[in-house]
Amino acid sequence: MTLSVVTQPELKLWLLFRGHELLVSVESSAFPLYPHYDALGFVSDEQHVVGEHEGRQVSVVRLTEDAVEPEGYHFQSLRSLLLSIDADSFSLAATASQVLEWANSHRFCCRCGTPTQPHPRGERARVCPACAYHQYPRIHPCVIVAITKDDTILLARAQRFVRPMYSLLAGFVEVGETLEHAVMREVAEESGVQVKNLRYFGSQSWPFPNNLMLAFQAEWASGEIVIQEEEIMDAQFFRFDALPEIPPSGSIASQVIHATVTELAASYR
């Protein structure tokens, strides 16, 4: 992808990252973009154009690990911003985070080990001057599925969840698989259940670190729940009006759970 270049530097906006945290204004964490990052007293030698906001070019800057927040600002994790910023803003911040991660992990050619260079015509690619290999950012497709059985929805508590939160079954698409195969396989592996009537719901870029979440809805077809204990602590079919703690709003998991529960409520209330 080639991004258009805005010629007036005063129109540029900046997203400022220190590690995986974004600099946010304490007063208005609604949209963390800054007109002049150098006016905040920061220097950086790494910048990438990541998109635009209301006609203004947006770039991301990686600050050094010892960067100290100026008065009135603080560093906040991208994950926690899911709760406070709108979807478009989160998408921009997610892109910025992934571009920084990609640039940092592709400084050398993965084929021959030579230090890479920026693409000569501004494409988002790192190019090897020795063997001409082009390294583009990679995303990892991940399926997530809301499974219903009568007036209930299947939710699982993953071993990795710190809080007593239940979410949907999910997993990475493997080499050679279709999305449909990936859903069937993940559900069978993690819960022992077979599903039918798969429907696509929507998708979300998920920058932890570079996934594309593809959400589906499906119906239980057969099988009792038998959890995969290495990954799942508990899994149950919960009635639509008696749900446990679910993921925070802003995530596609939350969106597909709410949409599915709304459908169940309309059918069974």
Residue nearer to Zn ion on the CB measure, 111 or 140: 111
Alpha carbon distance 124, 135 (integer Å)? 9
For residue 209, is the peptide bond before it cis, meaning its omega torsion is within 30 degrees of 0? Answer: yes
Residue nearer to Zn ion on the CB measure, 128 or 232: 128
Residue nearer to Zn ion on the CB measure, 127 or 221: 127
Q: Does 156 bind Zn ion (CB under 5 A)?
A: no
Residue nearer to Zn ion on the CB measure, 50 or 128: 128
Among 128, 169, 170, 214, binds Zn ion (CB under 5 A): 128
Residue 45 CB, nearest distance to Zn ion (Å)? 23
**φ/ψ of residue 187, rounded to 5:** -65, -45
Interface of this chain with Zn ion, residues 102 to 121, rule: CB under 5 A: 109, 111-112, 114
Residue nearer to Zn ion on the CB measure, 13 or 109: 109
Q: Are strands 211-222 and 140-149 parallel, antiparallel or unpaired?
A: parallel
Q: Is the dihedral of CA 86, 89, 94, 95 positive or negative?
A: positive
Interface of this chain with Zn ion, residues 51 to 110, rule: CB under 5 A: 109
Interface of this chain with Zn ion, residues 130 to 149, rule: CB under 5 A: 130-131, 133
Residue 115 CB, nearest distance to Zn ion (Å)? 9
Residue 184 CB, nearest distance to Zn ion (Å)? 39
Residue 129 CB, nearest distance to Zn ion (Å)? 8
Residue nearer to Zn ion on the CB measure, 106 or 185: 106
Residue 175 CB, nearest distance to Zn ion (Å)? 23
Coil/strand/helix, residue 194: strand
Residue 110 CB, nearest distance to Zn ion (Å)? 8
Alpha carbon distance 22, 209 (integer Å)? 15
Contacting range for Zn ion; rule: CB under 5 A; set: 3-11, 127-135, 151-159, 193-201 = 127-135
Contact residues toward Zn ion (CB under 5 A) are 109, 111-112, 114, 128, 130-131, 133
